[in-house]
Structure 1
Amino acid sequence: MNVRRLIPSAALAGAVALGAAALTACSGAEAAGGGKDGKLAVTASFYPMQFLAERIGKDHVKVTSLTKPGVEPHDLEITPKQTGRLGESDVVVYLKNLQPAVDKAIEQSGVKNVVDAGTLTALESHGASGHDHGHGGEDEGHEGHSEGDGHNHGEAGTDPHIWLDPVKYAEVAKGVGAALEKADPAHAADYRKNTAELVAQLGALDTEFKNGLAHTAGRTFITTHSAFGYLAERYGLEQEGISGVDPESEPSPARMKELQGIARKDNVSTVFFETLASEKTAKTLAGDTGLKTDVLDPVEGITDKSQGADYFEVMRSNLKNLQKALGSK
């Protein structure tokens, strides 16, 4: 948001006396177009982007999320009023192709500083089984997703759930930090420091997952939402999704039968469901196969039902639940 301040001629007489104070007051985020509180106005599309902006920006930013807690991000609808407010943002951080309504609103808003997290790391295509079908932009990526799953996940069917891989999430964090530095150069040193701290914390989380899942009785897990392809690939696991990339879609009878066979063959003990979607299909499969159910949270939003208060706490809960289900040794 570019703000022009017009000084009345009557005020010019005091300009020399007030010059130093005015320069000081106009430093930082306010000079970059920030709000009256002097903070950089950042709009995040949903929780994983909000978390990065808040952790990196800290006291220098005011972060607003387009997706309220408890709302499934894929289903988000945006009003014209929200689109108008979006245009007043100093920086927008989002993930293109995850939320079509957000993509459209950003195009209409005319906002200048836009950060697409998908450009900050390599996107891949994962099918319901979690296998990589090539890197972003390759045609074979289409085979990983069913027709009519209801979500546009990139031109090549790329998997958007990059934040569930701490290594990729750290790469995104670096890009978001650089964007905040550019938008608010007066506080660049703080943004660099905060980014480095966050990247180190994500590195520690990666080590916890690597060590915690290194020795397990099984390597296959079944989940309602095929959101964990990056995580599975990073730590040598096999994801089997009930409903593909859309957590609300109904699996075919053939897919349910196939999963029953996989559960027997790979000694799967648990069917995972998530906090922001129905657990109906997970309980149906578990009932048919005599399996347990548990939560594996894609961390798309934090609510009072989440197994943790922020990204790190929920991810560590995911790790414990995976260890239990896979028989960690």
Structure 2
Amino acid sequence: MNVRRRLIPTAALAGAVALAATALTACSGTAGAAGSKDGKLDVMASFYPMQFLAEQIGKDHVKVDTLTKPGVEPHDLEITPKQTAQLGEADVVLYLKTLQPAVDKAVAQSGVKNIVDAATLTKLEVHGTSGHDDHAAGEGQPAEGAADGHDHSHGEAGEDPHVWLDPVKYAEIAKGVGAALEKSDPDHAADYKKNTDELVAKLGALDTEFKDGLKNTASKTFITTHSAFGYLAERYGLDQEGISGVDPESEPSPARMKELQALSKQDNVSTVFFETLASDKTAKTLAADTGLKTDVLDPLEGITDKSQGADYFEVMRANLKNLQKALGTK
């Protein structure tokens, strides 16, 4: 940068220094004002569920970016050098440890002071494919939960990270995110608290919708390509049977496919669910072999133009309708 040298009168210089000091004092009240040109708190979210919380709670006081762009499968995300730089410049980083290894590594190296790990804001659990503990994975099939012979491949204890699909647990995370934003930007703490309370109330209403909507069904078992719905199944008394485990792109073993064919008859399963961000090939193969229908059950790891809704609440309600149809709501 070229600097033009000139003499400044002493009085003018003193006035300029005083003005700068006043401006600095005004900015120092919030991390966002100090770190963002528009005075907003810069929040970097790892993927959509974290982005949604930041936007809903922060609203006009935050500028939210996400490391996982729409249409990208979060589990396989690779961090670019540009994203690493953006991460280091954020006022607040919001992520879910163990879901995205590349993000975990980048966050650890970022040097950002205000880091919020959503996994610490609620209790993570280990989930198998369903409540059917006698359904073994079969030879060569990757297991899905340490407690029942399956391994999610997430964290040391194999915890399931998909907590946002349980509205109750997502509300717990929302409260923690709200508290973190209040601490990072105390000047707007009252607004963050108000927005958090409103979001938690909406999640409570969604929980009631799921509870009432899935209370009486002909079947309690659903088959899905992606074992992301363990918390949802546990919350509402359902049994999740995953075809491929946590990784929606992995190929199931022939033994697992045969087992699911038998299970579908035993538990009156009508539908095989697939998701929008991954291939539906495996779901359609199983459905064709068993005479079942296919439908979408969205793990809400990202919103695209193919999603059955524009945001978390719309997609979750679409999931509820699809589950009701598949399970035979009475």
TM-score normalised by length of structure 1: 0.89
**After superposition, where does 1:87-106 map in structure 2 within 5 Å?**
87-106=88-107
In structure 2, C-alpha distance between the alignment counterparts of 1:22 and 1:153, rounded to whole Å: 44
Post-superposition offset of 1:126:
0.6
CA distance in 1, matches of 2:261, 2:27: 65
The answer to whether the aligner puts 1:142 opposite 2:143 as a matched pair is no
Q: CA deviation at 1:23?
A: 4.5
Would you say the 8 A contact 1:125–1:144 is kept in 2? no
Distance 1:107 1:19 in 2: 34
Give the AA of the match of 1:238.
D
SS for the counterpart of 2:123 is: coil
Displacement of 1:299 in angstroms is 0.2
Q: Which residue of 2 aligns with 1:5?
A: none
Q: Distance in 1 between matches of 2:236 and 2:74?
A: 26
Q: Where in structure 2 are the equivalents of 1:1-329 lying within 5 Å?
A: 11-14=13-16, 23-24=25-26, 27-31=29-33, 33-129=34-130, 142-144=146-148, 146=150, 152-329=153-330
Task: For residue 126 of structure 2, give the secondary structure of its aligned residue in structure 1.
Answer: strand
Find the aligned partners of 1:115 and 1:35 in 2 and give their Cα distance. Answer: 19
Partners of 2:171 and 2:200 within 8 A in 1? yes
**Structure 1 residues 320 and 125, CA gap change in structure 2 (3 angstroms):** same
Shift of 1:73: 0.1
| Structure 1 residue 17, shift from structure 2 partner | 6.7
Whole-angstrom distance in 2 between the partners of 1:294 and 1:141: 25
- Following TM superposition, by how much is the alpha carbon of 1:265 offset from its aligned partner in structure 2, in angstroms? 0.5
Question: Do the aligned partners of residues 23 and 111 (structure 1) sit closer, same or farther apart at CA in structure 2, a change above 3 Å counting?
Answer: closer
**C-alpha contact 1:145 1:244 (8 A) present in aligned 2:** no
**Alpha-carbon displacement from aligned partner over 1:129-182 (angstroms, at most 9, x marks no partner):** 2679xxxxxxx95245756xxx74111000000000000000000000000001
Runs of at least 5 residues in structure 2 that lack an aligned partner in the other structure = 1-7, 134-143
In structure 2, what residue type is equivalent to 1:219? Answer: K
Q: Percent identity?
A: 77
Contact 2:225 2:283 in 1 (8 A): yes
Residues of 1 paired with 2:71 and 2:98: CA distance?
A: 20
Matched residue SS, 1:125: coil
Rg comparison, structure with higher value: 2
Q: In structure 2, what is the Cα distance between the partners aligned to 1:278 and 1:24?
A: 52
User: Does structure 2 retain, via aligned residues, the 8 Å contact 1:227–1:245?
Assistant: yes
**Runs of 5+ consecutive residues of structure 1 not aligned to the other structure:** 1-7, 133-139
The CA deviation at 1:12 is: 2.6
Who is 1:135 aligned against?
Answer: none
* Separation in 1, partners of 2:218, 2:91: 49
TM (norm. structure 2) is 0.89
Instruction: State the AA in 2 paired with 1:49.
Output: M
Q: Is the 8 A contact 2:164 2:170 kept in 1?
A: yes
Maintained 8 Å contact 1:130/1:228: no
Listed one character per residue, the Cα deviations across residues 267-311 of structure 1 (whole Å, up to 9, x for unaligned) are 100000000000000000000000000000000000000000000
What's the CA shift for 1:38? 0.1
Matched residues in 1 for 2:115 and 2:149: separation?
28
Residue pair 1:91, 1:183 contacting (<8 A) in 2 also = yes
Residue 319 to residue 23, structure 1, CA distance change in 2 (3 Å): same
> RMSD across aligned C-alpha pairs, in angstroms?
2.1
Q: Describe the superposition over 1:304-325 as per-residue Cα deviations: whole angstroms up to 9, x where unpaired.
A: 0000000000000000000000
Equivalenced residue count is 311
